[in-house]
Amino acid sequence: MSEKLATLSFSDGTPSVDFPVLGGTVGPEVIDVRALYAKTGKFTYDPGFMSTASCRSNITYIDGDQGILQYRGYPIEQLAEHCDFLEVAYLILNGELPNQEQKATFVDIIKHHTMVHEQLSRFYSGFRRDAHPMAVLCGVVGALSAFYHDSIDIHDARSREISAFRLIAKLPTITAMTYKYSVGQPFRYPKNSLSYVENFLYMMFGTPCEDYTPNPVLTRAMERILILHADHEQNASTSTVRLAGSTGANPFACISAGIASLWGPAHGGANEAVLKMLAEIDDAKNIPAFIKRVKEKDGHAMLMGFGHRVYKNYDPRAKIIQKTCHEVLEELDLKDDKLFKLAIALEKVALEDDYFVKRKLYPNVDFYSGIVYKALSIPVSMFTAIFALARTVGWIAQWNELISDPDQKIGRPRQLFMGATRREFVPMNKRK
């Protein structure tokens, strides 16, 4: 079959040039413009990567118009219903769902990497108690590369594998320690008789005076939330991890870069921002005034937890989280939770408003997740840290894919230069 080509022609008489058109297994084709500069002396201009595929990937597929999300081909709805988080982590990392034996081995390995180097716990005392958990997380995860020198050889497959185990196993410990430090309680060591998620909740809420027995409904809810956040194609933080990884930086440093990128309110920080927004709106009677401010773009007001670069339809994760929200509030006898009711009312107003309809703005993963976290007694400032805990799996899988991709090169975009052209130096006494 002959190669499909795209022809670029110019209005100034420059000869036209052909570029190969590449097809994936599903999703839009891409035009391979790698030779564009060599052939024409021109670059593409695409701030925000609106039309740019930055890599080939086999991990996560999204169809934004249909509201479809699949990890390694499996629909997110099925994985969220039938799997636990470590099973999904195995799938994302290895490409296949584990059989019973593979799952047991994986869980066992992760369990035996949950403790952090004792000296790492002393790292925390350098932070203020009121530091934002994401600030602490960036620092402590970055510091892992100072503790685990034996697994930072990125060219050694075994070394990469061990650093992946370490990151997935230690993130719950580090995240829970971040919380404990902020409230002045002693750190809890991991308890390996518990599951991954139970252990996280135990390290968050157990104290030496009172043991914590995780509630199965709440554990399941957290399990599901972690699954929904585990990977999401080439989003901003994943692209940050890939860009950092393209320089040959070690995996702990790359994941720390991803955490920093996730923190922003336009990305993972939106879950915290949604709760702040709901608290500010306070009552359903104030929704019209808030929506008016958003539409008038008054003081950068935004409907947080709404809109997505890829989804121009309901984010499938938001649907699952909304259902989980119902289950959790029912279990905790909080059916009349004020924030949940307010969120439902706000969503309804927005989905019927022309401004949001025209721009195809729907609730995203962050719109309801905060209400579940809050019901689980997780403080608002910890929300994005839990997103980071879950996304670590996706970041590692994407980083691994980058390292083994023969097309991989250092990420180095170019620019459309709009500054001053060459001019001669003016001595100080001659400057106006």
**Is 309 or 348 the residue whose CB approaches ligand SDX more closely?**
309
User: What are the residue ranges of helices labelled H in 12-62?
Assistant: 36-40
Residue type for position 388: A
- Least separation in angstroms between residue 358's CB and ligand SDX is 9
Burial code (b: 16+ CB inside 10 Å, e: under 16) for 154-179 equals: beeeebbebbbbbbbbbbbbbbbbbb
Q: Is 398 in the site for ligand SDX (CB under 6 A)?
A: no
Neighbours of 59 (CB within 10 A): 21
**Is 4 or 348 the residue whose CB approaches ligand SDX more closely?**
348
Please pick, from the candidates 138, 244, 275, 365, the single residue that binds ligand SDX as defined by CB under 6 A.
Answer: 365
CA distance 304 to 25: 34
Residue indicated by tokens 């994936």: 24
- Least separation in angstroms between residue 274's CB and ligand SDX is 7
Binding mask 282-321 for ligand SDX (x = CB under 6 A): ------------x-------xxxxxxxxx-----------
Binding mask 266-285 for ligand SDX (x = CB under 6 A): xxx-x---------------
Question: Closest residue (Cβ) to ligand SDX?
Answer: 307
Beta pairing partners, 31: 21
Cα pseudo-dihedral 341, 63, 72, 391, rounded to 10: -50
- Least separation in angstroms between residue 99's CB and ligand SDX is 29
**Is 48 or 427 the residue whose CB approaches ligand SDX more closely?**
48
- Least separation in angstroms between residue 213's CB and ligand SDX is 31
Q: Is 59 in the site for ligand SDX (CB under 6 A)?
A: no
Please pick, from the candidates 4, 35, 359, 404, the single residue that binds ligand SDX as defined by CB under 6 A.
Answer: 359
Give me the phi and psi of 5, to 5 degrees please. Answer: -125, 150
Q: Is 243 in the site for ligand SDX (CB under 6 A)?
A: no
**Is 302 or 345 the residue whose CB approaches ligand SDX more closely?**
302
Neighbours of 386 (CB within 10 A): 26
* Catalytic (active-site) positions: 308, 366
- Least separation in angstroms between residue 124's CB and ligand SDX is 27
Sign of CA dihedral 128, 130, 132, 133: positive
Asked if residue 368 lies in contact with residue 321, where contact means CB atoms within 8 angstroms, the answer is: yes
Sign of CA dihedral 154, 158, 164, 166: negative
Q: How many residues bind ligand SDX (CB under 6 A)?
A: 22
Q: Is 364 in the site for ligand SDX (CB under 6 A)?
A: yes
The percent of the chain in helix, strand and coil, each rounded to the nearest 5, is 55, 5, 40
Q: Is 235 in the site for ligand SDX (CB under 6 A)?
A: yes
**Is 294 or 320 the residue whose CB approaches ligand SDX more closely?**
294
> Which tokens go with 355?
């401004």
Contacting range for ligand SDX; rule: CB under 6 A; set: 96-104, 161-169, 175-183, 263-271: 263-271
Q: Give contact residues for ligand SDX (rule: CB under 6 A).
A: 48, 232, 235, 266-268, 270, 294, 302-310, 359, 361, 364-366
